[in-house]
Amino acid sequence: MKKFWIILLTLGISLIISQGAFKEPDSITAVMLGRKLFFDPILSRNGKISCASCHKEEFAFSDTSPISLGVHNRKGVRNTPSAMNMRLQVAFFWDGRATTLEQQALIPLQNPIEMDLALATAISRLQNNAYYKKAFQSVFHSVPNANNLAKAIASFERTLETSDSPFDDWRMNDNEDAVSESAKRGFAIFNGKGRCIQCHFGPDFNDVEFRSIGLYDAKTLQDSGRACVTKKKTDLGRFKIGALRNIAITAPYMHNGMFKTLRQVIDYYNDPDKIVPHSINRDTLLNTPMGLSEQEKIDLESFLVSLTDKRFASKN
């Protein structure tokens, strides 16, 4: 119920902003300020890239490219995940190198591949911008600085929660007509034969642990994931288990965007060895094929599609 009210508040704020209300800097909240910053290219070196350039709102704040392009079309190294449903997360980025949204908010700004702007320069730009200088004073009673910049962006990101999907109507509101029979069978597969529930659970269908699903072989797949942060061999190929809400509209998938469709993802999990035969450190959960039939694969995908929030219904 708490998450439901958060969503209502978020939608109300978005409506207010879209209608052009409260544009004066002395009339905005931290969330509104954070949203403006999220969409403003002022925080990139060339003034052409914003957070929203890679986190596209219409695609659940994810990107449609396997790897996003930053300033001067510099190619990144990993797929851009959705920025939605982060409120309950305890680690950020595929390798978990940030432990709070505030830490996460400032890293892309300074990444030379992404926004390529020194933090000191970003703060100077905001302090010399009449609108932002007044807005930060209004919201935080201070001039722009690294701390309140991170707080503003994180405040906006914490409102990007969704829990108004057909699946929620079915399970939370007992509306048997909200999802298809195929989706209902898919949910049973998700919790049973598919073994998905062992890594994807809770309100957002994610996990706080890092797992290796077999997409590291030190040859063609060389991103070592969590090991980049911890330097531990046991973390080779391990990545954050992301939330599954709105997963149907956040393609392509995986940390490298190697799968274009949900069906490709399901086919991979069904028998990983067929696609990556010599993976290193793959989780034992995936040591044996699932043995899903064609109909079971269809049903599992139907369930995943049912997790799409109604605000994105036209994308399905």
Cis peptide before 252, with omega less than 30 degrees from 0? yes
Cβ atoms 211, 283 nearer than 8 A: yes
- Domains defined for the chain, CATH in brackets: 2-157 (1.10.760.10), 166-315 (1.10.760.10)
Cβ atoms 8, 23 nearer than 8 A: no
Q: Could you give the CA distance from residue 243 to residue 81 in angstroms, rounded to a whole number?
A: 10
* Segments of 30-88 assigned E as strands: none
Q: Could you give the CA distance from residue 79 to residue 96 in angstroms, rounded to a whole number?
A: 14
Structure tokens that stand for 61 in this block = 């704040």
Q: Which is nearest to 306 in space by CA: 205, 165, 203?
A: 165
Kind plus residue range of the DSSP H or E element containing 239: strand 239-240
Cβ atoms 249, 308 nearer than 8 A: yes
Q: What is the pLDDT of residue 126?
A: 98
Q: What is the pLDDT of residue 47?
A: 97
Structure tokens that stand for 2 in this block = 């708490």
Q: What is the pLDDT of residue 316?
A: 63
Residue ranges at the known binding site: 51, 54-55, 196, 199-200
Tens of pLDDT along the chain (316 residues)? 445 444 444 444 444 334 333 457 878 999 999 999 999 999 999 999 999 999 999 999 999 999 999 999 999 999 999 999 999 999 999 999 999 999 999 999 999 999 999 999 999 999 999 999 999 999 999 999 999 999 999 999 999 999 999 999 999 999 999 999 999 999 999 999 999 999 999 999 999 999 999 999 999 999 999 999 999 999 999 999 999 999 999 999 999 999 999 999 999 999 999 999 999 999 999 999 999 999 999 999 999 999 999 999 876 6
Q: Could you give the CA distance from residue 83 to residue 15 in angstroms, rounded to a whole number?
A: 19
Count CB atoms within 10 A of the CB of residue 251. 19
Q: What is the pTM of this model?
A: 0.90
Q: How far is CA 249 from the centre of its chain?
A: 11
Q: What is the pLDDT of residue 202?
A: 95
Residue ranges at the known binding site for heme c: 51, 54-55, 196, 199-200
Q: What is the pLDDT of residue 26?
A: 77
Q: Could you give the CA distance from residue 85 to residue 107 in angstroms, rounded to a whole number?
A: 19
Classified as helix, coil or strand, 171 is helix
Structure tokens that stand for 10 in this block = 């978020």
Q: Which is nearest to 316 in space by CA: 132, 306, 224, 149?
A: 306
Structure tokens that stand for 44 in this block = 């990139």
